[in-house]
């Protein structure tokens, strides 16, 4: 089933020059519970909450959509809001997953953050959530 005009009616960011904000837009899923979507964000940046030095990461978001699929430009803008924010790596995985649950309402979501080496240590954090569990 191709994308219809009604699938686009709630999108306000796609195709427009808009300010980054911590919200996610969605469009209707044509196959609830039958697809798994993987989003791989290789160029994530935030700051250390204490030193304000930059941290760089790759973020993987794997989810099974229910009624909605996240619109990717809104995700890019959402992630951009962290560029000037101090956040611990482990907190980031939780925060992204909880916002994903709030806006996208998936059947399940797994957010994995892989931070680059800094001070000789690379940190990865993995947050998993499944509806009804």
Q: Measured between alpha carbons, how far is residue 76 from residues 2, 6, 55, 133 in Å?
A: 24, 23, 17, 29
Please report which confidence band the pLDDT of residue 17 belongs to, taking 50, 70 and 90 as the band edges. confident
55 catalytic per annotation: yes
Q: What is the pLDDT of residues 110-131, one digit of tens each?
A: 999 999 998 899 999 999 999 9
pLDDT at 19: 81
The pLDDT of residue 68 is above 90: yes
Q: Determine contact, residues 13/41, Cβ cutoff 8 Å.
A: no
Domain boundaries, the chain: 24-130
The pLDDT of residue 10 is above 90: no
DSSP state of 116: P
Given 7, 41, 46, 55, the catalytic residue: 55
Instruction: Classify 24-130 by CATH class.
Output: alpha beta
48 catalytic per annotation: yes
Given 48, 60, 66, 99, the catalytic residue: 48
Tell me the average pLDDT across 36-47: 97
pLDDT at 31: 97
Look up the pTM and report it.
0.88
């Amino acid at each position: 089933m191709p994308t219809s005009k009604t699938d686009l009616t709630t999108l306000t960011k796609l195709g427009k020059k808009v300010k980054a904000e911590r919200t996610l837009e969605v469009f209707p899923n044509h196959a609830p519970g039958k697809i798994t979507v993987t989003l791989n964000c290789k160029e994530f940046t935030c700051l250390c909450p204490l030193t304000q030095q930059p941290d760089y990461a790759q973020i993987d978001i794997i989810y099974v959509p229910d009624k909605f699929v996240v619109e990717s430009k809104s995700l890019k803008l959402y992630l951009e809001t962290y560029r000037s924010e101090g956040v611990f790596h482990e907190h980031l995985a939780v925060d992204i997953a909880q916002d994903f649950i709030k806006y996208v309402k998936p059947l399940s979501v797994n957010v994995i953050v892989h931070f680059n080496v800094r001070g000789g240590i690379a940190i990865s954090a993995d947050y998993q959530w499944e509806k009804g569990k």
